[in-house]
Structure 1
Amino acid sequence: MFFLILAAVLLPSGFSASLTTCDGLTQQVQIQGRDQFLGVWTYAAESTNMPGSKLLTKMFVENVWGKIYPANESDSFFVFQVQKMLGRCFTVTSKLTLVNNALHMDHPIHATEVLVATSCSDCLVLLSNFTLGESTYKGLQLLSKTKNSLLQGKRPKLTQAEMEEFKRQAACLDLPPPTILNSGKDFCPDESSPKDSETTDLTSVLSQADPEYMKLLDKMLSSRAGLKTLVDIIARNHTLN
């Protein structure tokens, strides 16, 4: 979860595939243009086959939101992502480019993302293929659009039917049961708001990370002993801070 950057889309008005079968639930959605991505989005749930991701997310991540705004190029935009972890705020800014109905990202990781069907009118489901170290993983994420500032109000919780649909989508893609993010806790403030909590920008750190470090991280996530070591490091650093 820590490296996936999300984007948003509205279903075309002509979309008519059934969302009761795996073919319908995993059908790719045609992207209509950059403007449909712009705005503020909260991350509702995700599923990924990256080892250790579910455990780390449940243990340390409280909530995530993102603001998408245009880049100079007409086919590109920036994603400013804010994660609340262990009571602290961490940000990452990434650039995505639309090519052949898919979103491509080179930094902080290499990823290709497509949008698939959802019956939620102000949500999106994003299917990603991303590389960490020498491994390629798959992820599915659910985003919900917010109509107001996160500091003024949050989107109502997704309905049970909407969450069940997302769980079926993950199952159709042979992904683990999704991790549900907590939207009831306070979100980190945006960059224009007074800072009432410490915020750390990880953009340059991730973009300049040594490839050997990313390989080591991948190996740690893939083994029980390595994952335990990683959990201990995060917990220890949090205690020291």
Structure 2
Amino acid sequence: MKTLCVAALVLSLSSVCQPAPLACEKLLQPVDKAPDLSGRWYMIAISSSCILQLVSRVLLPSVHMEVTSKETPNVFDYLIKLKMHGLCSNETAQLLQENNKLFDVDSNNTADGEPDLLLQTGCSDCIITKGDSVLNVLILFSRRTNITAAELKEFETQAECLGLTKPQLLDSDHDFTNCLSNEDEEAVASLFRTIQQRLNDNFAISLKCIASESSLYYPKAAFEWAQETWASLW
């Protein structure tokens, strides 16, 4: 199941301490019993690769899914609703649930591609999906719009166990009755101004994100050059 998703990068270049192996072994186990997916699920937080985290940090959307079962067993329709700086959009798709695995489906309602795994969680009304078909991504959904500090801490530990970045909390504004029109030129212009400002504010994170996936022989010089170039663009 491919869903939009968001997370902040750790600015330190030093290694992150890993949780105890036994804790990781438990937290990274798939669920034993398939949960009931029907209903509304709020996307609370996401942890993923550097580039996806950066995009999510800049856009900071609110996202939730409306999942409904179909006549075909274990096949579900889901409506993804996204709100970003007052502008809203939605998209429909289908998924197939096989125990602790979630698949995209083709036109014949059969599994298509690599599945996302449903991982263990101590949160009674949450699901955690782990996908790695395109990007390594860990997503926490809940029936609630907010979760407790302890529940978030557990999710952060799962992300650490996978070597991912610290999870980014998404916006919790799920009021879709006051969306701005996509035809509102001022609203769209305001969105782009906000994105531009957040890109500027997160320049250091952007560069470290790029550098982390490159072999830079002269990182200080590259950093200074990129900083000057970035400033000239805006």
Q: TM-score normalised to the size of structure 1?
A: 0.61
User: Aligned pair 1:78/2:77, yes or no?
Assistant: yes
- Could you tell me which residue of structure 2 aligns to residue 88 of structure 1? 87
Give how far 1:59 is off.
1.3
- Could you tell me which residue of structure 2 aligns to residue 176 of structure 1? 165
Where structure 1 has 5 or more consecutive residues not aligned to the other structure, the ranges are: 7-18, 131-135, 147-154, 190-194, 201-221, 233-241
Q: 1:136-175 to 2 correspondence within 5 Å?
A: 136-146=134-144, 155=145, 157-175=146-164
- Could you tell me which residue of structure 2 aligns to residue 123 of structure 1? 126
Structure 1 residues 199 and 92: CA distance shift in structure 2, 3 A: farther
Cα contact 2:34–2:99 (8 A) shared by 1: no
How far apart, CA to CA, are the structure 1 residues paired with 2:155 and 2:140?
Answer: 7
- Could you tell me which residue of structure 2 aligns to residue 97 of structure 1? 96
- Could you tell me which residue of structure 2 aligns to residue 113 of structure 1? 116
How far apart, CA to CA, are the structure 2 residues paired with 1:187 and 1:27?
Answer: 35
Q: TM-score normalised to the size of structure 2?
A: 0.62
Give how far 1:138 is off.
1.4
Q: Give the letter aligned to residue 187 of structure 1.
A: D
How far apart, CA to CA, are the structure 2 residues paired with 1:116 and 1:186?
Answer: 25
Larger Rg computed on CA atoms: 2
Structure 1 residues 79 and 20: CA distance shift in structure 2, 3 A: farther
Give how far 1:128 is off.
1.3
- Could you tell me which residue of structure 1 aligns to residue 191 of structure 2? none
SS at match of 2:135: strand
Q: Give the letter aligned to residue 98 of structure 1.
A: Q
Q: Give the letter aligned to residue 58 of structure 1.
A: R
Q: Identify the match of residue 175 of structure 2 among 187, 201, 211.
A: 187
Structure 1 residues 116 and 90: CA distance shift in structure 2, 3 A: same
Structure 1 residues 196 and 80: CA distance shift in structure 2, 3 A: same
Task: State the Cα RMSD in Å.
Answer: 3.2
Give how far 1:198 is off.
3.2
How far apart, CA to CA, are the structure 2 residues paired with 1:112 and 1:123?
Answer: 19
Give how far 1:186 is off.
4.5
Identity %: 25
User: Aligned pair 1:58/2:60, yes or no?
Assistant: no
User: Aligned pair 1:37/2:41, yes or no?
Assistant: no
